[in-house]
Structure 1
Amino acid sequence: MKISSIVLTISWLLWPGEMKEWPRHTMCKTKDFEAYYKSCDPLQDVGISFNPCSRNLKQNIIAKVGLILRQDVNLLYSNTKIYYKGTYLFHEEKPLCEKTAPQFSFCGKKKGEFIFYNHSVRFGISSLPKGEYLILLEFVNEQNYKIACVNFTVYSNPLD
């Protein structure tokens, strides 16, 4: 009985399903602020959280990100695009891991290792203006292999 249950469970987990994309995850939701994310990498979902959940960005925000590497990370580059109310607002590309100057603890990690980033972040602005934001964030390594890809949707609605 146990063996058939195990075989059935494994078959169910490995059976190709109808899922065509990863689900949208709720990061946080308050009266005046909502943040959601979805992995845009077809092979891997990502775990992300921010605390506290607030449109007030003056304070330190603790960011937690977890994922399993499918490729080595010797060099890593981020590509960020931000849209505000559907209009292109900002684009930034920058190196995060370089051979001579690794900025983060996950630089140099190998395929199969688990990355858990748990640090304070600052955004450089005090609060988000009212509106809807779409943030596209992609990380690629030295072979231009996608390490992680995440689409964020943020709704800021200040209480008047």
Structure 2
Amino acid sequence: MYGLLLFILFTPGVSEFLCMSSDLEMSYTFCDSVGHIFMFNLTPCSIVDKSTWRAALTWIPRSDINFLKIVFNVWYNGAKALHWKEILCSGEDDKYSECGTLKGETIATEFDIKGARITFPKGTYNVILEAFSDDSENNMVMCLNITMIVNQYTF
């Protein structure tokens, strides 16, 4: 909870723990060359607990968020497991209140992640999350390299 009150300026390459428990370790680094004012918190820190994860995000974007496309690439123990793209903001009938945020304004939001209900085999997951301000994926506004280590099988 304390983390929700802080804005932390991270420099590229500095690792930040999202959470650590006996069954799950999650951390991230920035994979782009720009420092960001960014904070992400995840509760509960467990794969065994099948409740929905609750995420809190605070971010001050370095450009206007009129268009926002996210790209997820997930590797499990070194093998590509998932590639997923989603346009969150298009400038037309956007369903997220964060769409239209101007450069320098604070985005502070909470949302549920249903992934905690998935059965994750024991191992290391690497997730590259890229955010773009255009559909052609040329103008990157954020890049995170997320590491998730599952320390026990879930059933």
- TM-score normalised by structure 2 residue count: 0.81
Partner residue of 2:30? 39
* The structure with more radius of gyration: 1
Q: Check the 8 A contact 2:31/2:143 in 1, yes or no.
A: yes
Deviates more, 1:99-108 or 1:62-71: 99-108
Relative to structure 2, which stretch is displaced further, 26-35 or 138-147? 138-147
Determine the structure 1 residue equivalent to 2:5: none
1:149 equivalenced with 2:140 (yes/no): no
> Are 1:21 and 2:12 matched, yes or no?
yes
The 1:103–1:44 alpha-carbon spacing in structure 2 relative to 1, beyond 3 Å, is farther
Instruction: Give the 5 Å matches for 1:88-103.
Output: 88-103=80-95
Q: Of 47, 52, 58, which aligns to 1:60? A: 52
**Partners in 2 of 1:159 and 1:95 — Cα distance?**
33
Amino acid in the other structure paired with 2:77: K
CA-atom RMSD in angstroms: 2.3
**Structure 1 unmatched runs, 5+:** 1-19
CA, structure 1 residues 129+49, in 2 after alignment: closer, same or farther (shift >3 Å)?
same
The reply to whether residue 71 of structure 1 matches residue 63 of structure 2 is yes
For residues 51 and 116 of structure 2, the distance between their equivalents in structure 1, rounded to whole angstroms, comes to: 10
Given that residues 73 and 84 in structure 2 are in contact (C-alpha distance below 8 angstroms), is that contact kept between their aligned partners in structure 1?
Answer: yes
Q: Which runs of 5+ in 2 are unaligned?
A: 1-10
State the Cα distance separating 1:21 from its structure 2 match. 3.1
Question: How many Å separate the matches in 1 of 2:153 and 2:111?
Answer: 29
Decide which moves more: 136-145 or 66-75. 136-145
Q: Find the counterpart in structure 1 of residue 78 from structure 2.
A: 86
- The question of whether the paired residues in 2 share the 8 Å contact of 1:65 and 1:118 is answered with yes
- Tell me: CA distance 1:159–1:131, structure 2 relative to 1, closer, same or farther (3 Å): closer
Distance in 2, Cα, partners of 1:74 & 1:42: 22
| Corresponding letter in the other structure for 2:39 | G
CA contact (8 A) 1:56 1:126 kept: no
Aligned residue among 101, 109, 115 for 2:101: 109
Q: Percent identity, please.
A: 28
SS at match of 1:123: helix
